[in-house]
Amino acid sequence: MRRRSLGLVALLLSACSAQAVPSGSSAFDGVSTNDPHDLPVNFENHEGRPGPSGGIVFDPVSAPIDHATAYRYELGHCGLFSPVDVDGSFWNPLDGTTVDGAELDLEADSEMINATGGLIVVIGDEARFRTATGSVVRFERHAAEKEFPGCD
């Protein structure tokens, strides 16, 4: 088990230090993924209203979490087009890399447009989501309500 955990840490560190990740990645490099936490349970529902662009506007309902801590997370049915509501905020995907360091197509990669499990870490106004296959997506905090497109 220890060997497997070390491999997971090495995978996260190499993926987080790939080319598309900015110079501020050092804070994420030291985050342990050996014992990820469950996100706090929240029984509030996302109740939306029609948005100006034809989507649905939601307010975030998630509870605050400890920063620099790995949490289990699963993207919703529509992947990155679904709300990513963590630490009391929605999150905007910025860019991502595959486990090999190649640029990730956030609008077409099958992991990014479907429900996909992994780990999420928040430090300040930045978050990183690592899938089980090692792809890493970098997010910026969205400061308020957010409109989401429909999804089939």
pLDDT tens, 129-144? 999 999 999 999 999 9
Check whether 40 has a pLDDT greater than 60. Answer: yes
Asked if residue 62 lies in contact with residue 39, where contact means CB atoms within 8 angstroms, the answer is: yes
Neighbours of 78 (CB within 10 A): 17
Phi, psi (deg, nearest 5) at residue 55: -95, -160
The CA-atom distances, in angstroms, between 131 and each of 50, 124, 136, 138, 151 are 31, 21, 7, 12, 21
Phi, psi (deg, nearest 5) at residue 25: -70, -15
In tens, the pLDDT along 8-27 reads 333 343 334 333 334 355 68
In tens, the pLDDT along 76-123 reads 999 999 999 999 999 999 999 999 999 999 999 999 999 999 999 999
